[in-house]
Amino acid sequence: MTPALIIIGFPANYAVGISLAWVTGNSVIGTIRHRKLGNVDMKLGLITTITAMGGIEVGVRIINWATAAGLADKIVLSISMCTLLIIGTYTLLESIRRKRRLERMPGPGVKTAADTRVTTLSHKLQRVNLPPRLHFAKSGITVSLWILLVIGFFAGMVIGIIGVGGGIILVPAMIYLIGLPSFTAVGTSLYQIIFSAGFGTIRHTMSGNVIIFASLIMLVASSIGVQFGALVTRYVRGISVRFVLGISILIAALGALLKLLNVIGDKPNAFLETGSTAVIFTGMGLAVLIIITLFTMAQRYRSGKSIPAWLEAFMSPEDFSA
């Protein structure tokens, strides 16, 4: 959202503040829905919130300094592009590898074993024997408190600088660094971001970086999408979340890159300006189309109708309708 707001003309500091305000409201709506579906680990969310707020404070101060120095657009777009590119590439490649692994499993209705949901890195971090070690029954993991505090702080700092929500930073971190199931990571990050993004919104409002009316317009428009997106998680596997997330992030990275090239140029370039706008909004439309397609195919799959073979690995074999 932050690169999109910059692309349509908002200064970077306002784009970050507006995005955080929108994220806060969006997270409240999403958390309510995901908690009903059992996707929220409240204990884990509260712990990561504490250090995330400290990281956000650092991020806000960096943005205020960059704005005063006239470098906000370049810094926000540069950090956004690098963050999106790294996380998007890793997420998409991992989801494709996991999909191929699922396709090799015998039987069309096989449930995903726990060890196929945990990465090598998360295994190593979970084994770090640095007390206190906390167990989270809801997520089914045990991890050192210090690991959670470090992840929360750096995630919060990035959130404070580029105004992102939990999807881009916290969801991949919880999946790949801590080892949470994808749906639990989505629900828990939404819950956590209520507090951390809310704090960031307050700090950016104090700095004059928030236009509340713009955030409210976006919130009203997105509230329906949040409900539908949460509903889809009942019918698809966790890799579907990561697959859509990876594609969306990489498209956003390309849009941010085009806008950055336009900003650092000697004079505005109409091709780059138009291209960045087209990429961002086409990417949003593509993500929505993929989600609707997955939901439609899942309905057919549940009713026993045929679907393309390459989509079967995305479908959940569990019946949540009971």
Q: How much is the pLDDT for 74?
A: 82
pLDDT confidence of residue 166: 55
Residue with tokens 């999106």: 84
Q: Hey, where are the domains in the chain?
A: 2-314
161 token code pair: 């600088």
Residues in the chain, pLDDT under 70: 105-120, 163-167, 266, 317-322
Neighbours of 168 (CB within 10 A): 26
Letter for the amino acid at 20? L
pLDDT of residue 318: 57
Rounded to a whole number of angstroms, the CA Rg of the chain reads 20
In which region does residue 305 sit, left (phi positive, over 0), alpha (psi from -120 to 50) or beta (all else)? Answer: beta
Residue-level length of the chain: 322
What pLDDT is recorded for position 58? 87
Residues 6+ apart with CB under 8 A from 66: 12, 13, 72, 75, 76
For every residue of 9-23, DSSP letters joined together read: T--HHHHHHHHHHHH
Could you read off the pLDDT of 273-319 as tens digits, one per residue? Answer: 788 888 878 888 888 898 889 889 988 888 888 888 888 888 876 54
Q: Report residue 110 as tokens.
A: 């096989």
pLDDT at 322: 30
pTM (2 d.p.): 0.67
From residue 102, alpha-carbon distances to 213, 280, 283 in Å are 45, 31, 27
Backbone angles phi, psi at 135, to 5 degrees: -105, 135
pLDDT of residue 107: 52
- Residue 75 CA neighbour count, 13 Å, CB half: 21
